Amino acid sequence: MPLRRISSLWTYFHKIVLPAIFVIGFFNTLLLWERPKYQPNNFPPDAFFYVMPVFFIIFTLWFGRGLKIVSIDEMNRCLRVSKVLNSRKEVSIPFSEIDDVSESIFSDPRRITIKLRNPTEFGQKIAFLGTYRFGGIFAGPHPIVAELQALAAQA
């Protein structure tokens, strides 16, 4: 059986494109926005337009940090993990190395974290975005979490 990708195709967007959009928007705000004179009843104040893009840049960089591309290789009974920008560098992690699998229900697509028994080249935690499902936080737990837990229990 060939590799089965379990990480979302949105990983590239969340790690690269979205922060770039916020950086471009921030510099657009700084350089091109013509600031009107402040009036006491004018909301929002100018500071709002400078603080919010910085907040979004920091949040998207924090959310996208450490995201990896993950596939299941059932023939060799392992996970194949690679970096988003350097897919030539790939690490095989046996299912027996999986200690715990958790997910963040407040992200869509779901951010899934695999904790490993021993550190690898990518560290002791592997984070990736699960494939997209409609329903957001109301869709229930992502099925890949239970599948990875079952594969780890069998190994």
Report yes or no on whether pTM surpasses 0.85: no
Of 46, 64, 82, the position where a domain reaches its end is 64
Helix (H), strand (E) at residue 68 = strand 68-73
Model pLDDT for residues 54-97, shown as the tens digit of each residue: 888 899 999 888 899 999 998 889 999 999 887 778 899 999 99
Instruction: Tell me phi and psi for residue 11, to 5 degrees.
Output: -60, -45
Instruction: Give residue for tokens 């979490």.
Output: 145
Per-residue pLDDT band for 44 (boundaries 50, 70, 90) equals: low
- The verdict on residue 1 lying in a domain is no
- The verdict on residue 86 lying in a domain is yes
The yes-or-no verdict on residue 155 having pLDDT over 80 is no
CATH for 104 = 2.30.29.210
- The verdict on residue 20 lying in a domain is yes
In terms of domains, do 23 and 70 share one?
Answer: no
Domain tally for the chain?
Answer: 2
In terms of domains, do 77 and 125 share one?
Answer: yes
Which residues constitute the domain of residue 58? 11-64
Residues 6 or more apart whose CB falls under 8 angstroms from that of 112 comprise 101, 102, 103, 104, 127, 128, 129, 130, 142, 144, 145, 148
In terms of domains, do 72 and 84 share one?
Answer: yes
* pLDDT given at position 39: 60
Model pLDDT for residues 7-31, shown as the tens digit of each residue: 999 999 999 999 999 888 888 877 7
Count CA atoms closer than 13 A to 75's CA, side-chain side.
4
In terms of domains, do 84 and 35 share one?
Answer: no
